[in-house]
Structure 1
C-alpha cells in the first residue's frame, strides 16, 4: 500500500528562510502544513516577509526581501526549534530590534552556540538566561569572516548561519567542529545551491560568498523522518508499504533509516519513484548501530526493538537529549514502563526484546515519542498515549493514516479527536 506522507519539515522551513532572503518570488509546492511550519511561516511574517497560501495549502508563495529584515518586531516561535535557530541570524543580517520568544518547552532548549557566533559576527544579543529564549537581537547587519562553531549540540545552529551568510558584508568561512547530523548540513547546502547561493567546502571549512539568493520554485518531497514510522510498521507487521516521491536523489539523510530496517531483516527497494519496505517473518536484532546522523529516527528503532529476536544497541545519539525532550531518557522511561529491559549510557541505549505489558506512554509533548510508540502499539496490546495530539507538530493526520494502513484494535486515548 502507498502511505500518504506530508512534506518534509526540514526542507519546508529551510526553503522558507532562503526564499525570504532571496530576490524575487518563490513558490513552494506541497509544503508541510503543521504546527511547526505554520509557526515558522508566521514568524517570517512578523519579520516583514510576505507569505501567501493557496486555498488548499497546496502551495505557499514567498515574496523575498533580497536582504535582511528592517524595522524590528516581536517574533513568536511557539515550539519550533528551527524558527529559534534559523531566524535570529536572518534578523541579525538586517536592521532593527527583534525579540524572539517561544513556549516553555522551547525556552528550555539551548542557544548559546548560536548567540556566541552571532556576537562574534557583529550582532548585539541579549537574553534573560544568557543561553536560551527569550532573546533580543539588535541588528545592524553581519560582518562575515572566519568563524569556529562547535556543532556538537545541533546542526541547526550551523544551518541557520549558513543560510544567512549570503546577506553578510564579507564571505563567511566556518570551521565546524564535532559536527552531528551531517546530512542536515548537506541538505542546507543543497537547498542554498538551488536558490543560487555560492558555497564551497574544502579543508574542513564551509565558505559562503556574500550575494543575495535568487527566488526559485521548489517541490517539497515527503518527510523522511515521518516516513520512518510507516516503514517500521511494515517491518513489524510483515506488510508492504511504499512512500512515493521519497527515493533516489532525496535531500534527506533520514531516508537511510531503511538501511537499518534492512539489517533488521526487512526487504527494501529504493528507486527514483519512491521507497518500499516489506516486513520479514521476524524482526532481526543482535546488532549495534550508530544513528548519530539520523537521530530523529533512533526512537522509531528503539520503540520496535522489543519485538526483535535479539538485543539492539543504538549509539551516537547524545545530542538527542537536547531536542523537544531528553529523547534517550523518554524512550528508556517508556520502555521500562512496558516491562522492557534497557541499558542506557550518555549517548546510547540497548533494548532487550521481550514481552510487553499495558502502559500509558508519557509523550512529553514530543511528537516523535508519540509516533514511535504508536508503531509498537500495532503489535503490543495495551499501549495508551497520554498526549496523542502532540503529533500535530509535524503530522496532524498521523493517527488517521496509521490506522488506515494498519487496521488494528489499537486506539490511543483521544484518537477520535485527531481523525
Structure 2
C-alpha cells in the first residue's frame, strides 16, 4: 500500500497511541552507553523493563538524564566497557540479564547480576557457555541461571558459535559487546529463533557506528543472524535515535480492530520498521482482516461481525511475542488454527503455550498442544478469570478476547506495566463500547 493511502487511513480512523519499542529502547540504551559521547534517544518506552534496564546501566556508571516528561533520554558513554564492578539488579528484565553481562565483560571489575524470582527461573546457560569460551571468568547458579558473576578484564575476540535455540537475546548481547573487544569477533548462530530481533540488533549497531560484515552474503538460505557475521573492534560513536512504536504492543490494538469489526491505525509503523513483529499484520490478513501497510503507518479493519477466517497453519516462530495475541482470539475463527514454531515461548515470563491453553480451557475453548505448537478450535468462549502468571503478554492478549466475551477478568491486570503501563486506558479509549460491556 502506498504511503498516501496509509496517511489517508490515519485521517479516517482512530490512531492508537502505542508506546516506544522495548526491544529498540533497551538495545539503544546499551549501544549509547558503549559509545563515545552523548546520544539522545527520543520517545523511549517508559515501563518496568526499560526503567530496570536504565537503572542497571546507571549502577554500572553510565550517566543517563531524562528530558521533560521522559520525552527523551540523554545517554553519555565513555566508549568502553564499565569499570569498578558492583551488583547489578535486573528486576524482571530478560534483556538486562542477557545484554549486560557481555557488556560488563569488556570492562574491568567484578559484577554480580541478579533479578526477581521470575527472572532467576529463565535460562542463561548458552550465554554463560559463550562467554566462557571467549575466556571470560563467569560463575552462574546451577542450571546456568541468575545470580551470575562476571570477573571482567576485557575480552579478546575470535570466532564463536552460539546456541540461539532458546533465545535470540544471547546472540544480540554478544554482538553488541563485540565492538568493545580487543580484536574482531566472528559469530555464527546455531538453531536461531526470532531472527528478526538479531537483524534489528545489527541495524542499530550500524546506526551507532559499528562495522558489521555479513560473511554469508551470496550463500543460499543464509541471512543476517543465521549465517556468520564479523564485527570489527572499532567501538561505537554517539548517535541520536527516534524510537519506533512497539510492534509487539501494537498487535493487541490491531487484533482488537479485527475482532470488533472496527478500524485502527498505528502511526510510526510501516514498511521501514526495524521490527519483525509488524508481520503480525500478515497473520490478521490471513484471518480475513483488511490490512494496509504504508511507509509510516499500518491500519487494520475487521469484518463487519468481527469473525475470523480459520482453517490454516502459521509459523510464528520469528514473531513469537505476538503468538498469544492471535491464539487468544483464534476461538472466534470459523475453523481450527494451528500456530507452529513457538517452542521457545515456553521459556519466557511463563510457559506461554501452557498458559494460553489453560486459560482458553477456562473459557470453554478446546486446544491441542505439542512441544512447539498449539491448535485452537472454534468456540463460543465463556466468561472466566484469566491467570496471568505475572506475564504482561498473557494479560494483554486475553484483554482483547474480553472485548468480545463479557465477564473475562484478569487476576493481575497491573502486570501490563512491564511494557505498556497505559494499556487498559488505551484499549478503553479505542474500543469504548466493547470495553464498557466488560
User: TM-score, structure 1 length as denominator?
Assistant: 0.97
Aligned to 1:59: 72
1:286 aligns with 2:311: yes
CA distance in 2, matches of 1:28, 1:161: 22
CA distance in 1, matches of 2:47, 2:189: 31
Aligned to 2:288: 265
Q: CA, structure 1 residues 341+370, in 2 after alignment: closer, same or farther (shift >3 Å)?
A: same
Aligned to 1:2: 15
What's the CA shift for 1:408?
Answer: 3.6
Runs of 4+ off more than 6 Å: none
- Do the aligned residues in 2 keep the contact of 1:385 with 1:412 (CA within 8 Å)? no
Aligned to 1:83: 96
CA distance in 1, matches of 2:49, 2:437: 23
- Do the aligned residues in 1 keep the contact of 2:92 with 2:119 (CA within 8 Å)? yes
SS at match of 2:83: coil
Aligned to 2:415: 390
CA distance in 1, matches of 2:99, 2:433: 40
- Do the aligned residues in 2 keep the contact of 1:234 with 1:278 (CA within 8 Å)? yes
Aligned to 2:3: none
1:328 aligns with 2:353: yes
What's the CA shift for 1:356?
Answer: 1.3
Once the two structures are superposed, the pairs formed by residues 219-298 of structure 1 within 5 Å of their partners are: 219-281=242-304, 282-298=307-323
Aligned to 2:176: 163
- Do the aligned residues in 2 keep the contact of 1:365 with 1:390 (CA within 8 Å)? yes
- Do the aligned residues in 1 keep the contact of 2:337 with 2:376 (CA within 8 Å)? yes
Deviations 1:137-173 (A, max 9, x none): 0001111101011100000000000000000111111
Aligned to 2:341: 316
CA distance in 2, matches of 1:230, 1:114: 34
SS at match of 1:134: strand
Aligned to 2:381: 356
- Do the aligned residues in 2 keep the contact of 1:384 with 1:412 (CA within 8 Å)? no
CA distance in 2, matches of 1:135, 1:286: 46
What's the CA shift for 1:381?
Answer: 1.5
Aligned to 1:28: 41
Aligned to 1:48: 61
What's the CA shift for 1:206?
Answer: 1.2
Aligned to 1:416: none
- Do the aligned residues in 2 keep the contact of 1:39 with 1:80 (CA within 8 Å)? yes
Aligned to 2:26: 13
What's the CA shift for 1:55?
Answer: 2.4
What's the CA shift for 1:51?
Answer: 0.5
Instruction: Give the number of aligned pairs.
Output: 413
SS at match of 1:133: strand
Deviations 1:236-273 (A, max 9, x none): 01100000011110000000000000000011111112
CA distance in 2, matches of 1:144, 1:360: 51
SS at match of 1:305: helix
What's the CA shift for 1:411?
Answer: 6.8
- Do the aligned residues in 1 keep the contact of 2:316 with 2:323 (CA within 8 Å)? yes
What is the alpha-carbon root mean square deviation over aligned residues? Answer: 1.1
Which is worse superposed, 195-204 or 243-252? 195-204
CA distance in 2, matches of 1:133, 1:159: 19
Structure 2 gaps, min length 5: 1-13, 217-226
SS at match of 1:229: helix
What's the CA shift for 1:409?
Answer: 6.0
- Do the aligned residues in 2 keep the contact of 1:111 with 1:132 (CA within 8 Å)? yes
Match of 2:185 among 172, 176, 187: 172
Aligned to 1:205: 228
Aligned to 1:370: 395
Aligned to 2:220: none
- Do the aligned residues in 2 keep the contact of 1:122 with 1:141 (CA within 8 Å)? no
SS at match of 1:184: helix
SS at match of 1:56: helix
Aligned to 2:127: 114
User: TM-score, structure 2 length as denominator?
Assistant: 0.93
Deviations 1:24-75 (A, max 9, x none): 1100000000000000000000110000001200000000120000010110
Aligned to 2:208: 195
SS at match of 1:251: coil
CA distance in 2, matches of 1:248, 1:14: 21
What's the CA shift for 1:366?
Answer: 0.2
Match of 1:142 among 148, 155, 174: 155
- Do the aligned residues in 1 keep the contact of 2:324 with 2:397 (CA within 8 Å)? yes
SS at match of 1:391: helix
